[in-house]
Structure 1
Amino acid sequence: MAALEIHNVRKEFGSERVLKDVSISIDSGEFLILVGPSGCGKSTLMNAIAGLEPVTAGNIYIDGEDVTWRTPADRDIAMVFQSYALYPSMTVRQNISFGLEMRKVPKPEREAAVERVADLLQITHLLDRKPAQLSGGQRQRVAMGRALAREPKVYLFDEPLSNLDAKLRVDMRTEIKKLHQRLGTTIVYVTHDQVEAMTLADCIAVMRDGHILQLGTPDEVYNNPVDMFVAGFMGSPSMNFIRATLEDGNGGYQLRITTPEEADLVLPWPEARIGAGMAERLNQPVILGLRPEHFSEEDERLTSQAEGTLLSANVAVVEPTGADILLRLPLGEQEVTARVGPKCAVAAGERLALRVDMGRAILFDAETEQRIA
C-alpha cells in the first residue's frame, strides 16, 4: 500500500490542454474515484499515474517517491482495463501468473499467488478454462486476479465495469467493495458512472474540462457541492434547479418562484442557513437546488408535526421504481422530480400536496453557478 500525491499535473496534446494543473493527495489504503463526463480528462490522468502518458508538467509521487518520469514497470502499480486484456490462448491460471513469470518470480510463489487470488475472487473452478469459455463477469474477475497477484503499491481501475450488463455491474461493484475492505489497498478508479463513485469511493474527484472541481468524500460532494455542475452530476435522479428571486421577508430571506398561471410561490430561507454575501444578492435572480428526496408527501395526520414548507402541484408523470416513486411536477416555470414512498397513491393529472425540506436546500449564483449557501 502507498499514498498517492499528484502535484500540479498538466498534460497537453499539441495546443490542446487536457489536464490543467491537477492536484490530488490520498492516504495509503484509500479508494479514490475520478468521475466526470466523457472527455473531462479522467482517463488521461489515470494514464499519467500509470506512466502510459508522459506529463507536460507537474509531479506524481507514490509512497513519497517521485515517479513522474519512471516507466510503468518501475512504478509498482497494477492496472485493470475496461477491455480485460486477457491472452486468449492462455488458461485463467496462465493469465494470472504471466506477469509474475515475466518478473521471474519463482514457480512455487507464482502458484501460491494464483491459488490465493483465485480463492479470493471465487474463480478456483475456472483456472483451467480459457477466456472464450468465460462470461463477461468471470473475465473481469480474471483481469482483477492478474492485478491482485502482483501485490503492487497502487491498483488502477480504468472503467472496469462499463462492458457488463446492469445486474452484473451491481454484483461486481459489491465484489470490488468487499475486496477493498479485506485488503485495504490503495485504489484509483476511473468511471463516468456517479452511482459507482458514490458506492465505492472513500474520496471522489469530480472532473470537468481538465480541472478538479471538487475533491471530497461521497457525502461532501453529494450534500455540499461547490457548484451546479457537481450538484447536477452527482445523484440519480439529478438535483432540481429552480429559478427564483432572493427577497427580504419579515426580517429574514425568502425565495420567490414565478409561476405562469397561479400566484407566485414563496419559500422561506432558513435563518440558520443564511450565508455571507446573501444580502448583496437581494432582489436578484438565484438558482434554488433541491434533490428529489427533499420533497415528501404530505400526510394530513402529521401536518402539525411535519417540518418543511407546504406546496401543491398537479402531477405530470408518475414513475414507479419499486422501492419508491418518482413524480414529475411543475414548480414555477420548470418541471421538477420528487421522490416519494412506494405507497403514494397519486395518478398523473391529480393534485398532490408536498413538503419541501428547505433546511437541506442549496442556493447557487445564477450567473457563475457557484454555491452561495
Structure 2
Amino acid sequence: MSALEIHQLHKSFGSTHVLKDVNISIASGEFLILVGPSGCGKSTLMNAIAGLEPITSGEIRIGGEDVTWRTPAERDIAMVFQSYALYPSMTVRGNIAFGLEMRKMPKAEREAAVQRVADLLQISHLLDRKPSQLSGGQRQRVAMGRALAREPQIYLFDEPLSNLDAKLRVEMRTEIKKLHQRLGTTIVYVTHDQIEAMTLADRIAVMRDGQVQQLGTPDEIYNDPINMFVAGFMGSPAMNFVEAVLEGGRGNYALRISTPEQQDLVLPWPAERDTDVLASRVGQKMMLGLRPEHLSEAGGHSGAGTGMAAVIGVVEPTGADVLINLPLGEGEVTARVGPDCRARPGERLELQVDMRRAVLFDPQSEVRLA
C-alpha cells in the first residue's frame, strides 16, 4: 500500500472554480473519507486522484511519485463505483478476473487471485452466476472483489453503498471496516453520509464549496469542529446553535440566553476552558453550540450540568434513546435523553446542560472561538 499526497490542487470548469487549494496527506494503510453536501467537490476530487479528471493546477503523489499527469492506467489504483459497473454477459468469476486478464496475468495466477478474493468476500458460491442473478449487496461485493484482485497501491470508493437499502448499508459498512482492518489497505472513500464517515474513517476531510474545511480523526471532527459548518454537518441529529451574550470575566464567564416567555437562562462557562479571545468578546453575541447529548434529563445517570426547564414540542422515540424538540432562546433545540423518558408534548421537562463539552462560535465568521 502507498501514501497519498495532494498539494495545492485546483480544478476549474471554465469560469467555475470547483476545487480550491486542496491539501491532503494520508499515510500508507490509512482510511480517508471525503464527506460533504452534494456539489461540494468530493467526487471531482476523487476523479482527479484517479486521473479521470485532469486538474487545473497542483500536484498528486502516490507512493512518493508524482502522478499528476499520468493516465488512470499508469497510477496503479482501483475504483469501486456507486453503480457496480459489472459486465452483464460475464459471470462473477469473469468480472473479477477481467482486469487481471487485461494485464496479461497468467491463467493460474488469475484463478488463484479470483479464489482468494471470493473467499475473502464470501462469494465463492456465486462465481458461476451472472450479475442479473445477484442481489444488490452481492453485486457490490463482486465490484469490491474486482478491485481487490488487482492489489493496487490505493483503492478509491465512490459512494459504493448509496444504492443499497438501509439494513444492507449497515451490513456492507461493517464488511468494508473488517476488510480494511484485515488487509491494511490505503483507501479514499467518498460519501455524503456522515454516519458512514464517522464509523469507517481513520481520518475525515469535510468539504464545502470545493475547499477542505477540516481534516482530522472522527473524534476531532465531532468534538472539536473548526467552524459552524463542520459542527452542524457532522452528527445526527445536528448540533444545536443558540444565540447568547457573553458576560462576566476570566474564571467567571457565562452565556446569557434571552427567552421571550420566561426569565433569561444563564449558563456558566467552564473556567478551565477560558481562552484569551473571550476577554475581548464580553458583552457581544456568540453562537453557543450544544450537541443533543449535551442536553440530558435532570436526575439522569450523568447528574452533571446546569439546570434548565422548557415545554416539550415534539417527542421522537428511536429505540436506543428519545429525541425531544423544545424551545430555547429564539429558536428550538433537540435533546437526546434516555429511552425510559416518559415526557409528552406540552409537558414541562427539567434538563441538565453539560457546558463542559459546549463550543462557542463567532456568529459572523462562524469560526470556532472556544
TM range (shorter): over 0.9
Is the counterpart of residue 358 in structure 1 residue 358 in structure 2? no
Structure-2 residue corresponding to 1:129 = 129
Structure-2 residue corresponding to 1:9 = 9
CA distance in 2, matches of 1:141, 1:306: 46
| Contact 2:251-2:274 within 8 A present in 1 as well | no
Structure-1 residue corresponding to 2:336 = 339
Structure-1 residue corresponding to 2:138 = 138
3-state DSSP class of the match of 1:198?
A: helix
Is the counterpart of residue 327 in structure 1 residue 312 in structure 2? no
CA distance in 1, matches of 2:249, 2:275: 16
CA distance in 1, matches of 2:179, 2:333: 38
Structural mapping, 1:271-310, within 5 Å: 271-299=271-299, 306-310=303-307
1:248: Cα distance to partner?
Answer: 1.2
Q: Percentage identity across aligned positions?
A: 76
Query: What amino acid is the match of 2:221?
Result: V
Structure-1 residue corresponding to 2:235 = 235
Q: TM-score, normalized by length of structure 1?
A: 0.98
Q: Which runs of 4+ in 1 moved over 6 A?
A: none
CA distance in 1, matches of 2:193, 2:94: 32
3-state DSSP class of the match of 1:10?
A: strand
State the number of aligned residues.
370
CA distance in 1, matches of 2:294, 2:261: 24
CA distance in 2, matches of 1:30, 1:335: 39
Query: What amino acid is the match of 1:326?
Result: L
1:249: Cα distance to partner?
Answer: 6.1
Is the counterpart of residue 53 in structure 1 residue 50 in structure 2? no
1:276: Cα distance to partner?
Answer: 2.2
CA distance in 2, matches of 1:159, 1:207: 15
Structural mapping, 1:168-207, within 5 Å: 168-207=168-207
Q: Any idea what the Cα deviations from partners look like across 1:332-354, whole Å, max 9, x if unmatched? A: 11110000110111111111111
Q: TM-score, normalized by length of structure 2?
A: 0.99
CA distance in 2, matches of 1:65, 1:119: 33
CA distance in 2, matches of 1:372, 1:249: 16
| Contact 2:251-2:271 within 8 A present in 1 as well | no
3-state DSSP class of the match of 1:230?
A: helix
1:250: Cα distance to partner?
Answer: 9.0
CA distance in 2, matches of 1:345, 1:21: 51
Structure-1 residue corresponding to 2:164 = 164
Structural mapping, 1:87-102, within 5 Å: 87-102=87-102
Query: What amino acid is the match of 2:347?
Result: E
Structure-1 residue corresponding to 2:35 = 35
Q: Any idea what the Cα deviations from partners look like across 1:98-128, whole Å, max 9, x if unmatched? A: 0000000000000001100001001011101
Q: 1:178 to 1:248 in 2, by over 3 A?
A: same
1:251: Cα distance to partner?
Answer: 5.7
| Contact 2:314-2:326 within 8 A present in 1 as well | yes
3-state DSSP class of the match of 2:276?
A: coil
Structure-2 residue corresponding to 1:220 = 220
Query: What amino acid is the match of 2:340?
Result: K
Indicate the RMSD between aligned Cα atoms, in angstroms: 1.1
1:279: Cα distance to partner?
Answer: 1.2
3-state DSSP class of the match of 1:277?
A: helix
Structure-2 residue corresponding to 1:318 = 315
Q: Any idea what the Cα deviations from partners look like across 1:64-103, whole Å, max 9, x if unmatched? A: 0000011100100000001000000000000000000000
Is the counterpart of residue 248 in structure 1 residue 248 in structure 2? yes
CA distance in 2, matches of 1:193, 1:177: 15
CA distance in 2, matches of 1:217, 1:254: 30
3-state DSSP class of the match of 2:279?
A: helix
Q: Any idea what the Cα deviations from partners look like across 1:194-233, whole Å, max 9, x if unmatched? A: 0000000001000000100000000000000000000000
Structure-2 residue corresponding to 1:82 = 82
| Contact 2:250-2:279 within 8 A present in 1 as well | no
Structure-2 residue corresponding to 1:367 = 364
Q: 1:251 to 1:194 in 2, by over 3 A?
A: closer
